[in-house]
């Protein structure tokens, strides 16, 4: 039995009308899809890394399901270096439904701070580049991207060593006291040690010491480093070498002049 050519033409016409109507309705339905990005947070992990977390709410008030929802993000420093990246995938968001997902990325702070030490001592910003992809009615692919900035608080903001003071310890040595201060602007507590080495103006190592530090987030720290040096080697000026050692990162050395 042969199908008349006229019948094939009518069927094809109805197919294209249906396809166009479906496409238009799916695209029109997109106006009823809403994405809400919550306040990003950073939290330390038990293995001394950091997790960047952002709650994402997908509200689908359209007439079709959303398929293959995917959000991909990367965090970049001021020079455009990618510190970390991550993706979150939701297979389906049903119509007249809302889904909340936590978009997480793990970041090694040591990579960021060793590459750009300004983040250790200066407040700044990180750039988050985000790309969102989804399938309208589970078949029509749509993509969009955006940038946002998140503040970075320096863990050793305004780090300073004060001038050394000397007290007689015995006939051959002084006990040296050096004030140590900084402000922890980071979103995590700072704990660890500060190692200090003292050199005279002839570049001779006179002595070294180590002090334990702890500064809760958004708080100042004031303490002292103490060690012993030979009286005969002390000069009116010189330099300190400072090593900052924490579970998240190690910084070595920072040179600070005295005198």
pLDDT tens string 146-187: 888 888 899 999 999 999 999 999 999 999 999 999 999 988
Q: Which of 128, 151, 174 is the last residue of a domain?
A: 151
Do 145 and 173 belong together in one domain?
no
Q: What is the pLDDT of residue 192?
A: 93
Comparing CA positions, the residue from 130, 141, 7, 122 lying closest to residue 66 is 141
Q: Is the pLDDT of residue 118 over 70?
A: yes
113 within a domain of the structure (yes/no): yes
Mean pLDDT, the chain, rounded, equals 84
Q: What is the pLDDT of residue 146?
A: 83
Report the distance separating Cα 138 and Cα 144, nearest Å: 16
Domain that holds residue 174: 157-258
Report the distance separating Cα 65 and Cα 99, nearest Å: 12
Do 163 and 244 belong together in one domain?
yes
Stretch 45-50: mean pLDDT, rounded?
76
Stretch 193-220: mean pLDDT, rounded?
94
- Check: pTM over 0.85? Answer yes or no: no
Do 40 and 141 belong together in one domain?
yes
Beta bridge partner(s), residue 205 = 199
The 10 Å CB-count burial string (b at 16+, else e) for 127-141 is ebbbebbbbbbeeee
Any idea which of 10-14, 38-42, 152-156, 182-186 has the lowest mean pLDDT?
10-14
């Amino acid at each position: 039995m042969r199908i008349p050519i006229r019948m094939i033409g009518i069927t094809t016409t109805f197919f294209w009308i249906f396809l166009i109507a479906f496409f238009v309705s799916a695209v029109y339905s997109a106006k009823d899809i809403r994405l809400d990005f919550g306040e990003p947070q950073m939290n330390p992990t038990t293995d001394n890394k950091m997790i960047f977390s952002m709650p994402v709410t997908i509200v689908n008030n359209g007439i079709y399901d959303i398929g293959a929802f995917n959000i991909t993000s990367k965090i970049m420093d001021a020079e455009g270096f990618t510190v970390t990246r991550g993706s979150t995938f939701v297979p389906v968001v049903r119509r007249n439904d809302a889904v909340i997902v936590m978009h997480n990325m793990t970041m090694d702070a040591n990579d960021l701070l060793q590459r750009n030490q300004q983040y250790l001592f200066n407040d700044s910003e990180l750039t988050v580049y985000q790309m969102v992809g989804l399938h309208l009615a589970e078949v029509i692919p749509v993509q969009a991207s955006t940038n946002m900035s998140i503040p970075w608080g320096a863990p050793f903001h305004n780090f300073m060593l004060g001038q050394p003071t000397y007290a007689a310890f015995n006939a051959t040595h002084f006990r040296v006291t050096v004030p140590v201060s900084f402000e922890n602007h980071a979103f995590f507590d700072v704990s660890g040690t500060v190692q200090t080495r003292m050199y005279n103006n002839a570049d001779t190592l006179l002595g070294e010491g180590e002090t334990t530090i702890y500064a809760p987030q958004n708080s100042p720290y004031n303490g002292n480093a103490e060690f012993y040096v030979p009286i005969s080697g002390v000069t009116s000026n010189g330099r300190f070498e400072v090593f900052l050692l924490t579970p998240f990162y190690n910084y070595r050395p920072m040179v600070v002049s005295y005198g």
